[in-house]
Chain A
């Protein structure tokens, strides 16, 4: 099918984009479009205007900002995936990005677009939560920064308002940390049934710090703090990690669908957390 008609705007600055969003009722931001076009084509949604951020240079690129990496919202996945700075300082992002959809989608789909779409089964939100990323949002009143825990508010809902634009994401550096994204699905192209994002810093054979994020275990990505706490100070052995991973599903409310019920997802969260943490420790 063909999408319902819309007006198309392609601003060249963030300010211009914000003004367009502010001035137009029922306007939708177009980032990479890799989720949006499907929704428009099957006519599950229609908007009067699309504001394409693709021509705003400021939104694209990755830079080193001292203790953080800053990833422009419109940086394509295919760029993030192979960026050496991301690989060195936030490897979890490189690994998770490589699992998103397929190569064609990663050429068009964007880092910020995926995060702002806030699909509970999307791969980047759990990573952003695990890494404690912060989000720079521009609106009519200027720019503000929100933490990952406030950014994701529900299914397809974030802190980005209707006349706001996600500009960039600041990711603290995790230089020298091991990382692994353990994604579980039925076919390669499918969204995660459950996935676990893990990053650990080892001191000798001991886990000094750990970050664990869960994909598709609730309406928003979840940081498995109980697991993180249980891991700290433990040896990176199968038994110790297994014990900590038992707590992965604490406080989660996973969905039930064709791919599994909530119990199965809780079980998977624990198994996948163990595997993710052990793999992360092995890569550290």
Chain B
């Protein structure tokens, strides 16, 4: 293959400042809510205040007569039209799920579910009229507690007959990837160590900064939909499938999108209803949610109860791991709700060599907001469990938590390594990352300070938390996804177009919303084609431009989408080569492609990619009708396997034993995300990931009261941390290339979030373990830390 190996890879690995910034720092950004069209109407949603109720009747008369109102629609009006929202993942063939209407018809299953919609000339008039819609509810007992709901004590959907959606099991003995876990635990009970814990993964809210917004224009031949989504291609397909509109009559645009974190990986009721409103009125319609609506109705994340058991020998060598998870689906299944536990289910072994493993998860409906992907999606839950347990094992053995980990982890010379869950870890070097982290952290000095503080009875105690994580990312492999019950694929598509003036357009099927693909993909293409970084334009997020794509989530964009871009660029070169040979009157085999220029070996003769592009555009000198007058190329890429980033995170916390207050004193993360295309972007992803993981450990939780009302329904109560609440991070990298793609890249979008939560909680527990504390539920609020200290002191 034509290669650019000879020239220095100036672009790949360069800390390029982002192209995207120019519009974002000047306010020239195009958010969905900025879209204004002639005659556009505005929607307001009426949402159920009750978690579980029957709708006895809805009186819309006052709302219909309110100023500016064009229509008021209720579920019975839409029963035929609205279809049912999709669940794209059957984790078991017999998976149960209630019908998920975009607008409730006669039954509401969570507080925040839409029961009516007002279409008015202004947003203010829509809000005014929405208050006049009078809904007659008969309250039903809500299913709220996860364990009680799993036992069907109260049914979230009485028609379904059970709250249990699916039960999924993996057993290493049954699948032949390992031994029998019950035997391992039995042995450990007799002569080793058994650690058992119940862990609560609290419910979180993705809380992207840009609230969701949708504009639908029904005029012209195609229905045009702007949506603040991570997944414009999904939205297009599902509008077609759910509403029966032919797919080719739909154009979906995700313009600038203000964050997602999995929260915008969804096909939403609001999208369906805005399409319906626009088609019914024949006018463009806009719906922009308020933050309060967003927090209560956009899907939540996490929310599991995990019963976990770790068996080990007396010296701390793990012999088995068992987990029984209850996962709260909330009221309905969204696109991949049911698969969130599955995405972590094969990763509870972390970086370790466990001989025996069994995991069962039970998906349970409750009358709470539906859950689905949130940054990490299943892997944070897995990593937290195993990394908390490894610290507990170290405490039990009386060894340093890093030593216990090293005793059990896969050594760098053992890769590729087939794990007890049947995954193949392609590469890694846990020793290197850990050594670097220890050094940056000043591990030994902090341990010495910790001892001093303990001895002096300092009211502020110091704790050190460890997290040595790995995760599977880069969704993809379509074959794997299919084998696990997902209806879609995981490939990605890209096109590279050589423009006549030598500029390059790159079209990607990924849909960035903060990740910097315009910059990073430009670097990839500039490197490959030898053109200037500035001469590459990356287009995305519009199904009319990027016709094929599977969007952005699961830390997949670079490892799948970026590699598709590279493959397309390589095809441009392949395509150009015979044409260059023709124009240079040389033999193809005598051509070199270096620095963006085809040269005839041993001569001065040659031409640049730009010159070639113009010559192809003219077509004057091309012989033969079989020579295509274009250098454009497409590529679709579907990798054979995941990539497995890893790293070592160390956190030092100061715990005020008088108030329970926790302060992060220092945080070091050393991440191995393989080859890095742009270190600035990678570092930024790590920072943001750390912030969200730390926020789970310390601040955030979606809390419902006993009637199912969300108590954390605004940013007053749902504590997204500010700059003043987070420490400065020390971040560094080791670089062990992945072997599953041509560049050796891995994902980085979720790593920080996955790794940091257990590091923080381990540090807090470590600070107060000598005071009798062995666990603190998340978020570790001062109140909870204080209570744990009270109980620890008593026992």
Select the stretch in A63-71, A104-112, A182-190 that faces chain B: A182-190
Question: A188-B725, A271-B659 given as contacts; is B786 within 8 A of A43 (CB)?
Answer: no
Decide if A186 touches B719 in the complex (CB within 8 Å). Answer: yes
Select the stretch in A12-20, A211-219, A253-261 that faces chain B: A253-261
In the bound complex, CA of A190 to CA of B722 (Å): 10
B209 within 8 A of A: no
Chain B residue nearest to A274 (CB atoms) is B658
Decide if A184 touches B722 in the complex (CB within 8 Å). Answer: no
Chain A residue nearest to B292 (CB atoms) is A42
Question: Which B residues are CB-close (under 8 A) to A190?
Answer: 716, 719
Question: Which A residues are CB-close (under 8 A) to B131?
Answer: 4, 43
Report A251-282 CB contacts with B as 1/0, cut-off 8 Å: 00000001111001001100110000000000
B453 vs chain A, min Cβ distance (A) = 18
Select the stretch in B120-128, B220-228, B754-762 that faces chain A: B120-128
Report B260-303 CB contacts with A as 1/0, cut-off 8 Å: 00000000000000000000000000000010100000000000
A142 within 8 A of B: no
Chain B residue nearest to A267 (CB atoms) is B786
A204 within 8 A of B: no
Question: Which A residues are CB-close (under 8 A) to B712?
Answer: 258
Question: Which A residues are CB-close (under 8 A) to B716?
Answer: 38, 190-191
Decide if A1 touches B658 in the complex (CB within 8 Å). Answer: no
In the bound complex, CA of A5 to CA of B720 (Å): 31
Report B5-28 CB contacts with A as 1/0, cut-off 8 Å: 000000000000000000000000
In the bound complex, CA of A224 to CA of B721 (Å): 32
A269 vs chain B, min Cβ distance (A) = 11
Out of A5, A42, A188, which one reaches B290, CB within 8 Å? A42
B717 within 8 A of A: yes
Decide if A264 touches B781 in the complex (CB within 8 Å). Answer: no
Decide if A1 touches B290 in the complex (CB within 8 Å). Answer: yes
Out of A38, A43, A187, A271, which one reaches B722, CB within 8 Å? A187
In the bound complex, CA of A107 to CA of B719 (Å): 23
Most chain A CB neighbours (cut-off 10 Å) among B703, B720, B786: B786
Decide if B786 touches A186 in the complex (CB within 8 Å). Answer: no
B787 within 8 A of A: yes
Question: Which B residues are CB-close (under 8 A) to A188?
Answer: 722, 724-725
Decide if A2 touches B661 in the complex (CB within 8 Å). Answer: no
B364 vs chain A, min Cβ distance (A) = 24
Question: A43-B131, A187-B725 given as contacts; is B782 within 8 A of A2 (CB)?
Answer: no
In the bound complex, CA of A268 to CA of B717 (Å): 20
Decide if A193 touches B699 in the complex (CB within 8 Å). Answer: no
In the bound complex, CA of A261 to CA of B786 (Å): 11
Out of A189, A264, A268, which one reaches B787, CB within 8 Å? A264
Within 8 A of A (CB), among B714-771: 714, 716-717, 719-722, 724-725
Decide if A187 touches B721 in the complex (CB within 8 Å). Answer: yes
Out of B127, B699, B786, which one reaches A2, CB within 8 Å? B127
Decide if A1 touches B782 in the complex (CB within 8 Å). Answer: no
B186 within 8 A of A: no
Decide if A187 touches B719 in the complex (CB within 8 Å). Answer: yes
In the bound complex, CA of A87 to CA of B247 (Å): 68
Within 8 A of A (CB), among B689-716: 698-699, 703, 711-712, 714, 716
B415 within 8 A of A: no
Interface size on B, residues (CB 8 A): 29
Decide if A264 touches B127 in the complex (CB within 8 Å). Answer: no
Question: A42-B292, A184-B661, A193-B782 given as contacts; is B703 within 8 A of A258 (CB)?
Answer: yes
In the bound complex, CA of A264 to CA of B722 (Å): 25
Within 8 A of B (CB), among A155-207: 184, 186-191, 193
Decide if A264 touches B721 in the complex (CB within 8 Å). Answer: no
Question: A2-B127, A189-B722 given as contacts; is B661 within 8 A of A264 (CB)?
Answer: no
In the bound complex, CA of A284 to CA of B720 (Å): 37
B783 within 8 A of A: yes
In the bound complex, CA of A163 to CA of B786 (Å): 46
Chain B residue nearest to A260 (CB atoms) is B783
In the bound complex, CA of A277 to CA of B127 (Å): 50
Question: A187-B699, A187-B721, A188-B725 given as contacts; is B123 within 8 A of A259 (CB)?
Answer: no
Question: A2-B127, A190-B719, A258-B712 given as contacts; is B699 within 8 A of A264 (CB)?
Answer: no
Within 8 A of A (CB), among B763-795: 781-783, 786-787
B46 vs chain A, min Cβ distance (A) = 12
Question: Which A residues are CB-close (under 8 A) to B128?
Answer: 4-5
In the bound complex, CA of A88 to CA of B473 (Å): 59
Q: DSSP class of A's interface residues: helix, strand, loop or mixed?
A: loop
Question: A187-B725, A258-B717 given as contacts; is B783 within 8 A of A1 (CB)?
Answer: no
Question: A4-B128, A186-B719 given as contacts; is B781 within 8 A of A259 (CB)?
Answer: yes
Decide if B725 touches A42 in the complex (CB within 8 Å). Answer: no
Chain A residue nearest to B128 (CB atoms) is A4
In the bound complex, CA of A1 to CA of B289 (Å): 8
In the bound complex, CA of A268 to CA of B785 (Å): 13
Within 8 A of A (CB), among B159-183: none
Decide if B659 touches A184 in the complex (CB within 8 Å). Answer: yes
Decide if A42 touches B127 in the complex (CB within 8 Å). Answer: no
In the bound complex, CA of A41 to CA of B131 (Å): 13
B356 vs chain A, min Cβ distance (A) = 40
In the bound complex, CA of A1 to CA of B659 (Å): 38
Most chain B CB neighbours (cut-off 10 Å) among A1, A2, A41: A1
Chain B residue nearest to A184 (CB atoms) is B659
Question: Which B residues are CB-close (under 8 A) to A4?
Answer: 127-128, 131
Chain A residue nearest to B293 (CB atoms) is A1
Question: Which B residues are CB-close (under 8 A) to A261?
Answer: 783
Decide if A2 touches B124 in the complex (CB within 8 Å). Answer: yes
In the bound complex, CA of A76 to CA of B565 (Å): 55
B200 vs chain A, min Cβ distance (A) = 15
In the bound complex, CA of A188 to CA of B703 (Å): 20
Question: Which A residues are CB-close (under 8 A) to B781?
Answer: 186, 259-260
Question: Which B residues are CB-close (under 8 A) to A260?
Answer: 781-783, 786
In the bound complex, CA of A2 to CA of B711 (Å): 22
Chain A residue nearest to B717 (CB atoms) is A258
In the bound complex, CA of A180 to CA of B734 (Å): 47
Question: Which A residues are CB-close (under 8 A) to B659?
Answer: 184, 268, 271-272
In the bound complex, CA of A193 to CA of B711 (Å): 16
Chain A residue nearest to B713 (CB atoms) is A42
B44 vs chain A, min Cβ distance (A) = 8
Decide if A259 touches B722 in the complex (CB within 8 Å). Answer: no
B760 vs chain A, min Cβ distance (A) = 14
Report A1-45 CB contacts with B as 1/0, cut-off 8 Å: 110110000000000000000000000000000000010011100
Most chain A CB neighbours (cut-off 10 Å) among B659, B724, B787: B659
Decide if A258 touches B724 in the complex (CB within 8 Å). Answer: no
Question: Which A residues are CB-close (under 8 A) to B717?
Answer: 258
Chain B residue nearest to A42 (CB atoms) is B292
Chain A residue nearest to B726 (CB atoms) is A187
Within 8 A of B (CB), among A38-54: 38, 41-43
Pairs A-B, 8 closest by C-beta atoms:
A188-B724, A260-B783, A2-B124, A187-B725, A1-B290, A271-B658, A187-B719, A2-B127
In the assembled complex, 30 residue pairs joining A and B whose CB atoms fall closer than 8 Å, in A order, are: A1-B127, A1-B290, A4-B127, A5-B128, A41-B290, A42-B290, A42-B714, A43-B131, A184-B659, A184-B782, A186-B699, A186-B782, A187-B719, A187-B720, A187-B721, A188-B725, A189-B722, A189-B724, A191-B716, A193-B783, A258-B711, A259-B781, A259-B783, A260-B782, A260-B783, A264-B783, A264-B787, A267-B786, A268-B659, A271-B658
Please give the residue numbers on chain A whose beta carbons come within 8 Å of chain B beta carbons, in ascending order: 1-2, 4-5, 38, 41-43, 184, 186-191, 193, 258-261, 264, 267-268, 271-272
Please give the residue numbers on chain B whose beta carbons come within 8 Å of chain A beta carbons, in ascending order: 123-124, 127-128, 131, 290, 292, 658-659, 661, 698-699, 703, 711-712, 714, 716-717, 719-722, 724-725, 781-783, 786-787
Beyond A259-B782, A264-B783: 20 further Cβ-contacts under 8 Å?
Answer: A1-B127, A2-B123, A2-B124, A2-B127, A43-B127, A43-B131, A184-B782, A186-B698, A186-B699, A186-B781, A187-B699, A187-B725, A190-B716, A193-B782, A193-B783, A258-B712, A260-B781, A260-B782, A267-B786, A268-B659
